[in-house]
Structure 1
Amino acid sequence: MTRASLDPGVRAFLDRMAEATRGLAAFETLTPSAARAQAEAVRRCLHTAPPRDMARIEEIVLEDIAPALRLRIYTPPGDARGVLAYFHGGGWTMFSLDTHDRLMRAYATGAGMVVVGFDYVLTPEYVFPTALHQVIDGILALRDAERFPALARLPLFAGGDSAGANLVVAAALSLRDAGKNILTGLMLTYGVFDSETDRPSYSLYDGPDYMLTANEMELFWSRYIHDPGMRSSPLASPLHASLAGLPRVSMTIAECDVLRDENLTFAQKLRNANVNVDAKVYPGTTHSFIEAFEMAAVAKNAVDDQCKWLKTWGP
């Protein structure tokens, strides 16, 4: 597929990204802090509408978790039907609660759920498995009735995009193995599920027109896990894990994404393990397309589909 064949709304998103990044240094040439600041500024240029109103937004820091974990809690109007713990993407290296603020608001209002954004630690300052252990402890904290009396009684989902989806699955596997089946479902958006880069989609969609390149993925992996031999660990590359016993899963897959094939393989492996999985490929979309939900109909439809799935399995 050529760029001209992409969904028109996605092309408009790519054009806006290109305009926002014109003249800026490639992120791989910057220090981590400079790359993060640049990414934050670029994402602010994408907003096309006022943020959705919440009944309440609050931030707390779980100081008893090491490293301390900041949470941002989005409570929508009306009675909440569940809780979605959300982990942003960004190659374990960048992005934040702010870059994904509007997306988390959309999930909160669309699904009628309290969304809890996790501000997990980033690489290269913290390497695998620090962020994973941090988010596991954060998920467990949400089930603490003394600390979160209004949330602990509600069904708990975990969701994330890209590297965030990787953390979702790794956390779910760890909780399963510990006998703590506290998650109702997993919502995965074009996740990273394997460190191998030899699948056809890596050659078909490797380039700046598709928002994520093979070289960028190699950089992300090298920062997340310093020892290449550890990349195939089941908690780093969940395609190498036994998936039996995981809760139900929703998968949002971009057609024109280097990660497409590992997502399709992961979906099939879930089915083979008798996990209830709802996987959908969105034609003409690229990595990161979900961020365009305010300007691209296909992205808005994907968010609506995710919210519908969350509501289906809520109370």
Structure 2
Amino acid sequence: MPVTLDADAAAVYKAFQEAGRPAYETLTPDEARAYYFAARVVTNPEPPELAEVQEFAIPAPHGAIPARLYRPMRLPDGPAPVLVFFHGGGWVIGNLDTHDIVCRKLAHEGELIVISVDYRLAPEHKFPAAVDDAVGAAQWIADNAAAIGIDARRLSVGGDSAGGNLAAVVALAARDGKGPKIAGQVLIYPATDFTMSHPSHSEPETSVLLTHSVIRWFRDHYLGSAADVHDWRASPARAETLVGLPPAYVLTAGADPLRDEGSDYALRLREAGVAVTYRHFPGQFHGFFTMGKLLDQANVAAVEIGAWLRALNERDASCQTGRSV
């Protein structure tokens, strides 16, 4: 599929190339984490004003999972809806700080509480450690909804890239009784199929910032064996059925090796009877959502996702009270 970058995306890509930043697959995980962390200063937009940002820890069998709560200035009356967010970074890089501004924007635009979960990273913690943390964190948040001040009946999950993968997996696990009831899922250019067999994985035009070789680097650090590729907890597209999953907002980008597996997952969700809002940004590359300082389409996407979450939560609230909207 021919890909033409938007003018601003092309300029950003050129700047990254001219900066001479080393490819992640040539680095150690710690070095890659440092580069990814430093890039946020250049790319992240100014944050909106919030009422509260609070650090806390979620108990887990291995100790504790760091988390961060974002409370916007405007919330509906009563217990608030919540988005449990999982950051991107190939299950190897990224943390609460790399996606801090994204979470602030989603809380502001969605008029809901966002809780960002700092799951364990590979290769120190191989698959399924990140999945266990994501499912366990979502369950703990639902179980402690009253203390947090949230409405567990309006708990959605979301994330970008690897975080979108984890959000999809949490939704599947919850459907099958291994997690809390999920109201909605926000899947931002999600990784859904580790077989990497979709056409966009072999098209040179998609290998922009997220390249085919770095995806393999992430995969090799994250998965423990070849058999893990076919495990639905790693590849949610490999789940036996997608029937019974919650409404989904799925976003893809044109210049992205994950483009086709994201669009295919959206199609399969729709065919399974799931309400799906699918949004494609043909002139953007993988990772653009966190670059609102440089790419206005990132801010457009945040506004749209916020509107989708508000509509979802308003509809759920009306169903609970018996009102119509």
Identify whether the pair has TM-score above 0.5, normalized to the shorter chain: yes
What value does the CA root-mean-square deviation take over the aligned residues? 2.0
Q: Distance in 1 between matches of 2:244 and 2:145?
A: 28
Alignment of 1:142 with 2:141, yes or no, is yes
Shift of 1:36: 0.6
Q: Is the 8 A contact 1:249 1:276 kept in 2?
A: yes
Query: Which of the residues 75, 85, 88 maps onto 2:71?
Result: 75
**Which residue identity is paired with 1:62?**
I
Structure 1: which 5+ residue stretches go unaligned?
none
- Give the structure 2 partner of residue 88 of structure 1: 87
The answer on whether the counterparts of 2:82 and 2:114 sit within 8 Å (CA) in structure 1 is yes
**1:206 touches 1:212 (CA, 8 Å); kept in 2?**
no
**Aligned letter for 1:156?**
L
1:115 correspondence with 2:111: no
Match of 1:233 in 2: 231
Q: Is 2:277 aligned against 1:278? A: yes
Mapping of residues 38-187 of structure 1, within 5 Å: 38-47=35-44, 49-80=45-76, 81-145=80-144, 148-153=147-152, 155-178=154-177, 180=179, 182-187=181-186
Q: Is the 8 A contact 1:188 1:250 kept in 2?
A: yes
Distance 1:2 1:13, change over 3 A: farther
Equivalent position of 1:10 in the other structure = 9
- What are the equivalent positions in structure 2 for 1:213-228 lying under 5 Å apart? 213-228=211-226
Deviation at 1:12, TM superposition (A): 3.1
1:193-223 Cα offsets, whole Å, 9 max, x none, are 0012232212224665x21111111111111
Task: Please state if 1:269 is matched with 2:265.
Answer: no
CA drift at 1:82: 1.4
Q: Is contact 1:206–1:214 with CA below 8 Å preserved after alignment?
A: no
- SS of the equivalent of 2:185 reads strand
Decide whether the 8 Å contact of 1:193 with 1:238 is kept in 2.
yes
Work out the CA distance in 1 between the residues paired with 2:133 and 2:152.
Answer: 22
TM-score (norm 1): 0.92
For residues 102 and 228 of structure 2, the distance between their equivalents in structure 1, rounded to whole angstroms, comes to 32
Higher mean C-alpha displacement, 144-153 vs 101-110: 144-153
Say if 2:23 is the partner of 1:26: yes
User: 1:164 Cα shift?
Assistant: 0.5
* Corresponding residue of 1:244: 243
What displacement does 1:280 show? 1.4
Provide the rounded CA distance (Å) in 2 between the counterparts of 1:42 and 1:180: 34
Partner of 1:35: 32
Which whole-Å CA distance do the structure 2 matches of 1:181 and 1:62 have between them? 15
% identical equivalent positions? 33
- Cα 1:184–1:44 change in 2 (3 A) is same
What amino acid is aligned across from residue 60 of structure 1 in structure 2? F
Compared with structure 1, are the counterparts of its residues 307 and 150 closer, same or farther at alpha carbon in structure 2 (3 Å cutoff)?
same
**SS of structure 2 residue aligned to 1:121:** coil
| Per-residue deviation, 1:66 | 2.5
Alignment partners' CA distance in 2, 1:211 and 1:26: 9
CA contact (8 A) 2:201 2:212 kept: yes
- C-alpha distance in 1 between matches for 2:258 and 2:145: 40
Count of aligned residue pairs for this structure pair: 310
| TM-score between both structures, scaled by the size of structure 2 | 0.89
Residue 9 of structure 1: how far off its partner (Å): 2.3
**CA distances 1:147-202 after superposition (whole Å, capped 9, x unpaired):** 73402456111000001111111111111111655210000000000012232212
CA contact (8 A) 2:163 2:190 kept: yes
